[in-house]
Structure formats: structure tokens, C-alpha cells
Structure 1
Amino acid sequence: MPTSTDDAAQPASPVYLSAPKTPTILPDSRWDVATKRTVLVIMLVVGVGIFWISRPVLTLLIIGGIVAYLLNPIVDLCERLRIPRSVSTIVLYLLLLVALILTPVLLLPVLLTQLSSLSFNVPYTANLFVGWMQRTVANLPPSVEILGFRFDLTGFYQSFQASINQDLTRQWLPTPQDILSYINQAIGTATSVLSTSVSVGFSVVGGVFAVLFFFFVLFFISLYLTKDAPKIRAYVEGLFPRAYQSELGDLFARIGHIWQAFFRGQIILSTSVGVSTWLALTLAGMPGALILALLAGALEIIPNLGPIIAMIPAVIVALIQGSDSLTISNFNFALLTVGIYFIIQQFENNLLVPRIIGNSVNLHPVVVICGVVIGANLAGVMGAFLAAPVIASLRMLGAYIYNKLIDNPVALEPPPQESRDTFYRRIVRGDDHVISAAEMTVTIETEESQGTTPDKSMPLTERHNNGAVKEQMPAPIHDDPLPQLADDPVPVEITKPATD
């Protein structure tokens, strides 16, 4: 079909996709200050509501987070050794599962043997107690003089001895009539026990499955938290504006230092206190020394109050059973037990705690005790255990907020820690001065810019001190800082003070 000349003269224009329009934010669409505050309050209320609804899961998340936090350094080390993080995490948790299964299997026979040695003869102990009370009252003076007035205590002593003979002896030594009444009550309740045995059995089975399900969920929560720890860390850091990431990173590093020192210290302290308690009680002839030592190591997680609570059952065992190897009275053996626990506690507070935990927590004992009581009231044993690091972290966070409110500068350096290289040079090689990593980098860059050929056999410390760098560098953070280098070509000499 022929086309017109006009159509032939006009070439077909290509069709182009239109460029996407850049979205513009209208001034009217911006939120004012009141709207932002309202949304913030709503978000806080919703967050508190979600937190309140999620209370049954919080225990699992907290315990799983603690387990993942403790195992994360091992997984990081395996990752630096070119082992995939997923593989190292799975292998580590399988080993942990095997250890959790084998530990009670191996310890159960020993614990049963220790429990069999704790034979409490209640009537005999009651008779000893009553006899001791009677002898103590008989040795008291018949009268006392207070402010010139004499008071006769003979009648009080007689009534007190009568109450001891009647009430205490009757309480601990039941008469045949009491025994018959107990038997009749037992026969009466036996029928009800038999009728409800099936329901009790189902409840026991349900409780066992609930415990197994709890550990199953806890196992996988901690496993995934350990495996995805770098992603979680990067996600949390990305939530904050870039301008605040450096100082918030410093804040998180300091809080992390508190928790690392606390958990590392608690593991070492519990192990050392448990082992030392077991050795001391075994040498003293304490019945059930292993059980009491395990109790002392476990209660070490409760700051300040745990050792006192662990000492109470040991003193009771010493008063009731006495020593198996020492020929002393039960009362003197109880005093010896108190002395053993006191010495171990002083050894822990004055030698172990300053070197293991140091000043990371740095809380007054009164604050720790109040925090333990409040934490135990709110969250039980877990609250008492985590009271000290939580208070220390809140103190660090409060100091940061206070400095921001009064426009004080916030320190951006991480907490000073002596690196392995510094430790090696200071302790093993005995160098007087150890340059920091930043000074090492500046030394190498300056040597390259000057075109000098450095002596690779000479350590960086000697190359730095011999004047290889002639520029001003920032002072290091460690205790023996390098003096500022001058701008002239005269090298700086570091001389040792003369010793007598």
C-alpha cells in the first residue's frame, strides 16, 4: 500500500523510557517536634507492652545470650584460624552437649557416696543440744546486779530448764502415742495417694517434657545467637547515626569490658573457691566435703552473700556430725569450719578478685548487696547473679548521658588494655619503652617517605628510639609514654634513671 510523501519524509522517532522522577519531600510532610515526641512516646509504650507480653521468653533469651556471649570468643578464634563460623559453632555446641550429658553421669556415683556419709541422727543431736543448753543454764550466776539493784534469776532458770525438758525433747523425741497418730494419718492418706497416682505420674512426665523442651529451645537460641553474632552486631551499630557511632562504639566497648571481666572472673572464682573448699574440708575430715564444695562454688555467683549462704550448711554438718579425722568436739570443729571459709573468702577478695575482675565492676559492697536483694526479688537467682554487672553498666550509661547533657566531651578511646605485644616486650624481653601500634605505623610510613632503607632485623622499638622518626606523633596511652620528639634532626635519647 503506498504511503504519503509526508509520512515518508518524517522518520520514526525512537521511544525512550522516561527517567524516574526524584521524589521531593514537601515541607508540609515533615513532622514537627510535637509529632516526633508523640510518635516516640507511642513507640515507648508499644515497646514496654511487647516487653511485658514477652516475659515468658525473656529467661530463655537472657540465658541463651549469656551462653552465646561466653562461647563467642572461642568461635571468633576458630574463625581467625580459617575455620568457617557455622562449622565451629556446631562442633562447639556438640562438644558442650556431650559434656553436659557426661558430667552428671560421672559425678552421680560420687555424689551418692557423699550423701550417704551425711547421716543425721536427729534424736541424738537433739539430746546433745538439750544437754548443752542445760549445762549452759546451770553455769550461769543465780542473780545479777544492774544499777545497784539485784535481780534473782533462779525462777527464770528453772522455768527455762523445764521448757527445754518438755517442749524441745517432746518436739524432737516423739512419744509412742505420737507415733501411732502419725501411722493412722499415713494410712488415711495412703488411699488418696493411690487414687491420684495416675494423675501425678502424668504431671511428672509432663514436667520432664517441659524441662527437655526448655533446654531444647535454649540450645538452639544460643546456637543461632553465636552463629549470627557478627550480623547482629553490625545491625545494632547500623541503627545509630554515623556521627554517634564512634562514641557509642566506645561506650559499648567499655560495657563489654565490664561483662567480659565479670563472666571470666566468675568462672575462675567459682572454680578456685570450689577446689580450695574441697581440699580444705577434706583435710579437716568434713563429711560430704565434695557436696559442700560444689555448693560453695555454685553460690559464688551471688556477690558478697553467696559465701555466707554456703557456709551455713557446712557449719550445721560440723555441729551435728563432727570431724572424721580430727579428735575435737563438734563445737570446736564448727569454729574451725567458720575459720576455713573465712580464710578462703579473704584469699578470694584480696588476691583473686583484684587480679581477675579488677576495677571493671568497682562497686561498693553495700551497693552490690542492695542490688542482689532487688535482683533476687525481681528475677530470682538470675537477678541476683546479674545484679553487679547490670548496676555497673547502668552507671557507665548514666555517666555517658550526664556528659552529653552538660556538653562535656566524651572519651572516644576504648578502655586501655595492654596488648599481647606490649606484654611480651615488657615482661619477656624487658624493653623499657613499648611504642603503640599507631607509632609503629607512623614509623614505617616515615621511613618509606624518606627513602631510607630500614634494618629489618632491628625491632621497631629500637628503630623508633634511634631517631628514625623526626615528626611529632601522638602520645601513647600506656603508663610509660614516649617523650615528644623534637623537630630538629637531633635524635631523642631515652635514658634510664641512675639506680643506687
Structure 2
Amino acid sequence: MSQGSKPIRFSAHYKLITAAIIIALTILFFQHIRHVLPPFIGAIITAYLFNPLVTWLQRRTGMGRAIWIVVLYVLAFLLFYGLFIWIWPIIVEQTSDMARAAPQLVNEIRSFFEGREQIELGGFVIDLAPLEDQLISVVRDMGTWMSGNVPRLVFSALETVIYILVYLIITFYLLLEAKQLKLWSANLIPAPYREEIGSLGTQIDAVFSAYIRGQLLLIVIMSVLLYIPLSILQVPYALVIAVASGTLEILPIIGPWSAAGIAITATLFQTNIPFGLSGLGLAAVVGIIYFSLRQIEDHFIIPNIMGPLVRLHPAVVIFAILAGGALGGAFGLFISIPVAAVVRILLSYLYRKMTDQLEPPSSSPTTREQEKLAKSASQPKNTEALRH
């Protein structure tokens, strides 16, 4: 810089204005390109979930990250290919059968409600006509949706193929450069505050990682546990119902009730009823199965998978679910609880700052450990040649 000149320095006021403008422009930008964001969001989540595994494999074997990422890609391809060959035809067949059976199911619903316009329970008279209309509407809509979407599920569009390729490429590079990205994000924080902010980030990471991994594992566990009894009871479309029920588990409160309702509705109109049960008896057995598995899930599976990291009051959970659904639909429901837990962590941090309380013991890496990590990341390795 020549003599007599001086660098431009922003005052605190202009720094705040600049930050606000950048944030506003970023939000507007992402709103306009939101239709291309799904593969990038999926890649970020996938890399976030599998980075610990890749790091552990690299440390245990001394082999490069690129090699293990390629191995995981091959294993994932073989797994999904096997599932596609084995399960996909069954799902397509059962889904198509459900779409074709929708008109017959409408007639069965009407026959079921004939002569049952009202029922009396404990002195209260319940009109069943609105329930009949709603059930018929749901079945018709479901049949229309399935008949229109099954071909789309079978024959993927070119856009979907492109999105999958983008997702795989971005995931690969995020996993490959995970250490450098972590160091880059840490260097954005001023050195005096790095350890404190790192501790806060560690708490947030623990909540998100436990919740997301737990939910994915929960889908698999509940789908398998539900498919076994449903197939034994010869419930039609058992595989589709089990997979749908397991997937609905990711929606708090609403999901399990919806899953049970779908299964019970299917059994009410089942023609081939095993073990000498009536239609209502079979529906009651399925309801008991769902209720029992829900209790096992709440008291054994979830505490062991997710642990006590979320720690939210039930009233806060309900509010978070309603707010998440209103703001973000199904995706908002899925992330409502971990976001509420993160908000709790941030509010607790801000409260300690405002009341001048001491910080709890830090669990983040120390500055010396971060410097050691940066030094090791900067050293060239032979395995990194795979990137070029």
C-alpha cells in the first residue's frame, strides 16, 4: 500500500448493515433457486451422517478417505440394487393393486355403513355419516394418486437422474474435504472465541447427529417389526403398509397415529381373515400390535438410540411440531424437535451471557488440538493423489 493511503475500516454500525444486507440477499437467492436445492441438502445430510464412519475407517486402516468413500459407494450401490430387485417389484405390485381395489373398497365402506347411520355409546349418539363421507373421499383420493404416480415411480424422469448424479458427486467431495471444511469454518471464528463457539457447536452437533441417525435407524426397525406380524395376519399390502408406517414414524405424534389408522382401515375390509377372527377382531389385534410396538419404541428403542440429548418438555415438543408443520410442512415436522433442542441450547447460552454466569466445562477441542489438526491436514499424503 502506497504512503499516505489507508485501508477502509467499517464501523460497528456499517458492519451490522453489511451483515444484514448479505443475509437478506442470501435468503432471496435461495428462495429463487429452491427447486435445485434438494440434491445439495441431501448431500450435506449424507456427508454429515457418514463422515464419522469414513474418519474412523481412515484412522483404523491408514488408507485414504477417497478409497473408503469409493468402497462405501460400491456397498451402497450393491445394497440398493439388491433391495430394488427384491422389494421394488413387490411394492409396485401391491401399490398398483391398492389403486385398482379403491373402487371396490368404496363399495365395501358403503356396505359397512348401511344400517349403521348412528351408534350409541354411553348415552351419546354418534352420527357416522360424516365419517363415511370422509373415508370414501380418502380412499378415492388415494386411488387417484397411486394410479397417477406409480408410472412416475417406475420410469424416472431425466431431471431425477441428473439430481441423483449431482447428489452423488457433491456427497463425494463433501466427504473427501470434510476435514478441510471443518478447519475452514473454524478459522472464520476469531481465535479468542474459537474454543467457546466450538463447545457450543459440539452440543448442537450431538443433538442433530443423534436425532437424524436415530430416526433413520427407527424407520428400518419399525418397518421390520411391523411387517412380520402383518404378514402373519395376512394383511393385504403388508409390505407397503409396514414401510409406510416405518417412514411415518419420523413425523412426531402425527405419524404413529396415521400409520396405525392406515393399517386398521386395511384390515377392516380384509376378505381373507385368518385364525377365525372377525373383521373387527383382526382390526383390534392390529391396533394392539401397533400400540405395543409404540410402547416398546418409546421406552426402549428411542432412549437407547437417541439418548437424553433432546431434553424437551412435552408442551414444548407439541408447540415445536405445530410450528414446524405450519412453517415447513412434512420437512418442518421432521426437523421440528431437533431445531427446538438447538434453540434451547442457544437460549441457554444467551441467558448465561446476559446474566454473566460461567460457562460449563468445554468439551470442544482445545486451541492446541486445533493447531495440531490444521498441521496434519496441511501435510501432503500419497492417498490425496486420488483427487487429481
Same fold, TM-score > 0.5, yes or no: yes
Residue 51 of structure 1: CA displacement? Answer: 3.6
Change over 3 Å in CA distance of 1:368–1:259 after alignment to 2: same
Native 8 Å contact 2:273 2:279 kept in 1: no
Q: Distance in 2 between matches of 1:70 and 1:264?
A: 7
Within the candidate set 55, 62, 69, 2:41 is matched to 62
Distance apart, 1:72 and its partner CA: 1.1
> How far is 1:126 from its partner?
4.1
User: Partner of 2:111: helix, strand, or coil?
Assistant: helix
1:340 partner letter = I
**Aligned match of 1:279 in 225, 228, 246?**
228
Shift of residue 217 of structure 1?
1.2
Aligned to 2:91: 111
Q: Deviations over 1:280-324 (max 9, x none)?
A: 223333222222111111111112221111111111111111563
Instruction: State percent identity of aligned pairs.
Output: 27
Instruction: List aligned pairs for 1:386-397, cutoff 5 A.
Output: 386-397=335-346
Residues 127/301 of structure 1: CA separation in 2 closer, same or farther (3 Å cut): closer
**Structure 2: distance between partners of 1:204 and 1:283:** 28
Counting matched residue pairs gives 343
> Tell me, what secondary structure is at the counterpart of 2:275?
coil
Point out where structure 1 has 5 or more consecutive residues left out of the alignment.
1-20, 147-152, 154-159, 173-202, 416-500
Q: Quote the offset at 1:232 in angstroms.
A: 0.7
Aligned pair 1:128/2:111, yes or no? Answer: yes
- Match of 2:111, as an amino acid? L
What is the TM-score with the length of structure 2 in the denominator? 0.76
Q: Name 1:180's counterpart in structure 2.
A: none
Counterpart CA distance in 2 for 1:391 and 1:129 is 44
Checking the alignment, whether the CA contact within 8 Å between 1:302 and 1:384 is kept in structure 2 is yes
SS in structure 2 opposite 1:133? coil
Cα 1:265–1:126 change in 2 (3 A) is closer
CA distance in 2, matches of 1:280, 1:368: 31
Preserved CA contact (<8 Å) 2:214 2:302:
yes
Distance change in 2, residues 1:410/1:324 (3 Å) = same
**Alignment pair present for 1:102 and 2:92:** no
Q: Is the 8 A contact 2:234 2:272 kept in 1?
A: yes
CA contact (8 A) 1:319 1:334 kept: yes
Describe the SS at the equivalent of 2:88: helix
Question: 2:238 and 2:299 mapped to 1: Cα distance?
Answer: 25
**Aligned mates of 1:338, 1:205 — CA distance in 2:** 32
1:363 maps to: 312
Amino acid at match of 2:172: L
Letter of the aligned partner of 2:178 in structure 1? A
The alpha carbon displacement at 1:25 in A equals: 8.7
More helix as a share of residues: 2
Cα-to-partner distance string for 1:7-62 (whole Å, 9 max, x where unaligned): xxxxxxxxxxxxxx898996x95443333333333333333333434423433322
The RMSD of aligned alpha carbons is 3.7
Which of 337, 357, 369 aligns to 1:408? It is 357
Distance across 1 between alignment mates of 2:249 and 2:295: 13
Tell me the residue number matched to 2:67.
Answer: 87
Kindly indicate whether residue 329 of structure 2 is the aligned counterpart of residue 372 of structure 1: no
Contact kept in structure 2, 1:247 and 1:411, CA below 8 Å:
no
CA contact (8 A) 1:301 1:385 kept: yes
Structure 1 position 251, deviation (Å): 0.8
Does the residue aligned with 2:63 lie in a helix, a strand or coil?
coil
Q: Residues 443-477 of structure 1: CA distance to partner in whole angstroms, max 9, x if unpaired?
A: xxxxxxxxxxxxxxxxxxxxxxxxxxxxxxxxxxx
Instruction: String of CA shifts for 1:74-104, please: whole Å, max 9, x gaps.
Output: 2112211211011211221233233333322
Larger Rg: 1
Equivalences for 1:348-497 in 2 at 5 Å? Answer: 348-414=297-363
Match of 1:305 among 247, 254, 265: 254
- Residue 47 of structure 1 corresponds to which residue in structure 2? 26
Q: In the aligned structure 2, how far is the partner of 1:290 from the partner of 1:258?
A: 32
CA distance in 2 between counterparts of 1:47 and 1:112 reads: 41
* Larger RCO (alpha carbons 8 Å, 6+ apart): 2
Residues 35/289 of structure 1: CA separation in 2 closer, same or farther (3 Å cut): closer
User: 2-side partners of 1:389 and 1:262: how far apart?
Assistant: 7
- Tell me which moved more, 319-328 or 254-263: 319-328
Instruction: Confirm or deny: 8 A CA contact 2:273 2:282 kept in the other structure.
Output: no
Q: Is the 8 A contact 1:285 1:323 kept in 2?
A: yes
Does residue 1:259 correspond to 2:239, yes or no? no
- Paired position in structure 2 for 1:184: none
State the distance in 2 between where 1:24 and 1:342 align: 78
- The 5-angstrom pairing of residues 7-26 of structure 1 reads none
CA–CA distance in 2 between the matches of 1:300 and 1:140?
A: 32
Aligned residue in 2 for 1:38: 17
Structure 2 Cα separation of the partners of residues 278 and 346 of structure 1: 17
Q: Distance in 2 between matches of 1:23 and 1:205?
A: 70
Q: Please state if 1:269 is matched with 2:218.
A: yes
Residue 372 of structure 1 deviates from its aligned partner by 3.2
2:186–2:194 CA contact under 8 A, matched in 1: yes
How far apart, in 1, do the equivalents of 2:97 and 2:26 lie?
A: 54
